[in-house]
């Protein structure tokens, strides 16, 4: 429950609605970011402490939102984008938020289909 409250507080404080997934744009030149060189590490460092199948205390994260594998990320790509990529900052709910540069990389990687 605490995680959900923190996420709502983050949304209120930012005052910005999330950029919707259907507006995601892959750069014209594509991306060099892959699951192997970026996505897996990002998920492990910033998401899996609540969104991994092996975590007992998910901090209120729904049990079906699991980001263990590349296929899991693809399944939830729109959800992840709308909450964590670029200027979308409701997840993770702090205090160890990803740096802005990593959020921008996440935005690019997801917008390009999370190769």
Which pair of structure tokens corresponds to residue 101? 């540069």
In the prediction, which pLDDT does 17 show? Answer: 63
Tens-digit pLDDT profile for residues 12-54: 444 456 788 888 899 999 999 999 999 999 999 999 999 999 9
Count of beta carbons in the 10 Å neighbourhood of residue 108: 20
In the prediction, which pLDDT does 21 show? Answer: 81
Task: Return the domain boundaries, the chain.
Answer: 2-15+26-111
Instruction: Name the residue with tokens 């192997």.
Output: 36
Tens-digit pLDDT profile for residues 43-71: 999 999 999 999 999 889 999 999 999 99
**pTM for the full model?**
0.81
In the prediction, which pLDDT does 38 show? Answer: 97
Average pLDDT of the chain to the nearest whole number? 86
Which pair of structure tokens corresponds to residue 28? 């014209």
Instruction: Name the residue with tokens 């990593």.
Output: 102
Asked whether residue 114 carries a pLDDT value surpassing 50, the answer given is yes
More confident residue, 95 or 54: 54
More confident residue, 9 or 58: 58
Exposed e or buried b per residue across 2-22, where buried means at least 16 C-beta atoms within 10 angstroms of its C-beta: ebeebbeebbeeeeeebbebe
Tens-digit pLDDT profile for residues 69-86: 999 999 999 999 999 998
Axis-axis angle for helices 77-84, 100-111 (nearest 10): 150
């Amino acid at each position: 429950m605490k995680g959900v409250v923190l996420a709502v507080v983050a949304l209120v404080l930012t005052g910005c609605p999330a950029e919707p997934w259907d507006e995601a744009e892959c750069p014209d030149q594509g991306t060099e970011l892959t699951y192997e060189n970026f996505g897996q590490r990002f998920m492990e460092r910033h998401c899996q402490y609540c969104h991994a199948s092996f975590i007992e205390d998910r901090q209120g994260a729904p049990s079906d939102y699991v980001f263990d594998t590349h296929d899991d990320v693809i399944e939830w790509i729109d959800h992840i984008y709308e909450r964590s990529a670029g200027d979308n900052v409701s997840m993770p709910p702090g205090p160890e938020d990803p740096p802005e540069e990593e959020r921008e990389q996440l935005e690019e990687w997801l917008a390009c289909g999370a190769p």
